[in-house]
Amino acid sequence: MTIHDVTLVMRPGMPTWPGEDGPSIEPLRRIAKGDGANVSVVRFGNHTGTHVDPPIHFIEGANTVDKLPLDALAGPCTVIAYDGETHISAAWLKAHGIAGAKRVLFKTRNSELWRTRAPFDERFVAIDESGADWLVAQRVKLVGVDYLSVEPFGSGKSGHPVHVKLLAASVVIVEGLDLSEVAPGDYELFCGPLKLEHGDGAPARVFLIER
């Protein structure tokens, strides 16, 4: 059995969504200064690094991160390789025969951005509206992507349609996965978002188990 940790390392200076601060980690107590233990204060936005989007992120009054369905966060999962330069569409999904998968992670050229520690790149590959419709029609429980948004940069102008379509159908969204060292194929997924009361998002630790 091989366990793959596909979680980004939280670190100061890591790429974040424009306008959102990266993590800060500051010492509160230090043994070297005579304290009894080493303790730090960590500060970051709840959509930093590898994180989960619950419905309330884009749908007012909807479910929060502490109420996400556990059966979506753990179970069989398929990692799909996408080598296109455009966004992932329904036509592409239909042509590549992934019907039946309930948890799907997309590995794209975005994964190289994590490997090279590149700054935020608004040209990242995402899922388009037709792709979101297809995933909903397939009753997918969880969708994961290897960058900081499941939909193209600039989609706010049209009301974040990909997020809304997926979240309205109770599809759990996982963003900021590091799939650079993972081969396409079938795995067992374990995704553990922080259980933040009434949270509109939460950082998560995500493992893929290869048996």
Which residues are catalytically annotated? 57
Cα(162)–Cα(80) distance, rounded to whole angstroms?
19
Find the Cα–Cα–Cα–Cα dihedral 39, 43, 46, 50, rounded to 10°: -70
The beta-carbon contacts of 68-71 under 8 Å, at least 24 apart in sequence, are 68/172, 68/193, 69/141, 69/170, 69/172, 71/141
Count of Cβ atoms closer than 10 Å to residue 67 Cβ: 14
Token pair of 21, please?
């601060």
